[in-house]
Amino acid sequence: MFDVLIIGAGVSGVSCALILGSAKNKPFASDKKIGIIAHQKASSLQTAVFNNAYGIPAGKLGSEILSESLEHLSQTYPHVEQIFGEKVMEIKENNDFYTIVTNKNQYQSKVVVVAIGAGNPISLEGLDAYIEPHQKIPAVKNRIQLKNDDHLVKKGLYVTGILAGHRSQLSIAAGSGAAVGTDILTLWNDGNHTMVHDAINK
Ligand SMILES: Cc1cc2nc3c(=O)[nH]c(=O)nc-3n(C[C@H](O)[C@H](O)[C@H](O)COP(=O)(O)OP(=O)(O)OC[C@H]3O[C@@H](n4cnc5c(N)ncnc54)[C@H](O)[C@@H]3O)c2cc1C
């Protein structure tokens, strides 16, 4: 049983994983089992090049970010389990946990973060009840979002990135994933608002 399983290792998914991983020394997070399913074929990053994203050098290829971000995650927070080569096919809701069905396995998690981009049709089953037309991307592009209240779709189910209804910019997607990471840490910390900061000389 995962405490949190992130589906999608693009911009918002890895951003969320980094924040969750960074809380490893906090008492409320140290025993938590965190995972991310990294199936990269459908990522917007495959063909993108970035000149306007904060902190990223101009000309950076999205395809480089895809691999480098997961390397960053594994080197800095190796306790975050990365699951490769599996595409999620379905999310099933149970009473107090979710079952995530991939093309190879099944996983159970108390909390699920859906970070799969806004492709239409959606690439997995089980979320149809929450789908609506994207509110901030031109209708002609035919994108979707999941109904949510500040990223929360329903108890234990979060959505990040473009699929949360944000405009498609890397910095916005990254911020969205980070926001959900801190929401989950706050949940684990009995509702006390939580951030994780590192500083020199500490
Ligand atoms: C060609 C192009 C150029 C762009 N240029 C810019 C730019 O110059 N500046 C800028 O700010 N933004 C740019 N963007 C937008 C930016 O890349 C996106 O806003 C950002 O990647 C969205 O993040 P996300 O997390 O929502 O989705 P993504 O980064 O697309 O991540 C989604 C992840 O989910 C995975 N996934 C999907 N379905 C499944 C499934 N069923 N199971 C498991 N995993 C799954 C995908 O493979 C991917 O890894 C560009 C996008 C494109 C396509």
| Contact indicator for 67, 43 with CB cutoff of 8 Å | no
Task: Round to whole Å and give the CA distance between 139 and 164.
Answer: 16
- pLDDT at site 17: 98
Beta strands in the chain (DSSP E): 2-7, 34-38, 49-50, 60-61, 81-84, 88-93, 98-102, 106-114, 131-133, 144-146, 152-154, 157-159
- pLDDT at site 45: 84
Residue-wise pLDDT for 168-183, tens only, equals: 999 999 999 999 999 9
Report the mean per-residue pLDDT for the chain. 96
Q: Of the ranges 39-53, 125-139, 153-167, 187-201, which one carries the lowest mean pLDDT score?
A: 39-53
Cα-based angle 94, 99, 100 (whole degrees, multiple of 5): 150
State in Å: Cα 67 to ligand 1 middle: 13
- The CB of 47 under 6 Å from ligand 1? The reply is yes
Query: Would the pLDDT of 127 be above 70?
Result: yes
- pLDDT at site 43: 75
- The CB of 82 under 6 Å from ligand 1? The reply is no
CATH superfamily of the domain spanning 2-188: FAD/NAD(P)-binding domain (3.50.50.60)
- The CB of 44 under 6 Å from ligand 1? The reply is yes
- pLDDT at site 202: 58
Residue-wise pLDDT for 42-95, tens only, equals: 677 888 999 999 999 999 999 999 999 999 999 999 999 999 999 999 999 999
Cα-based angle 59, 60, 64 (whole degrees, multiple of 5): 150
- pLDDT at site 85: 93
Residue-wise pLDDT for 13-36, tens only, equals: 999 999 999 999 999 999 999 999
- The CB of 69 under 6 Å from ligand 1? The reply is no
Q: Which residue has the CA at smallest separation from atom 10 of ligand 1?
A: 169
pLDDT bracket for residue 41 (50, 70, 90):
confident
State in Å: Cα 133 to ligand 1 middle: 18
Query: Would the pLDDT of 184 be above 80?
Result: yes
State in Å: Cα 115 to ligand 1 middle: 9
Query: Residue 85 corresponds to which tokens in the numbers above?
Result: 């080569």
Residue closest to 80 by CA, chosen among 151, 152, 181, 197: 181
Query: Would the pLDDT of 2 be above 80?
Result: yes
- pLDDT at site 22: 98
- pLDDT at site 87: 95
- pLDDT at site 90: 98
State in Å: Cα 45 to ligand 1 middle: 5
- The CB of 189 under 6 Å from ligand 1? The reply is no
State in Å: Cα 161 to ligand 1 middle: 8
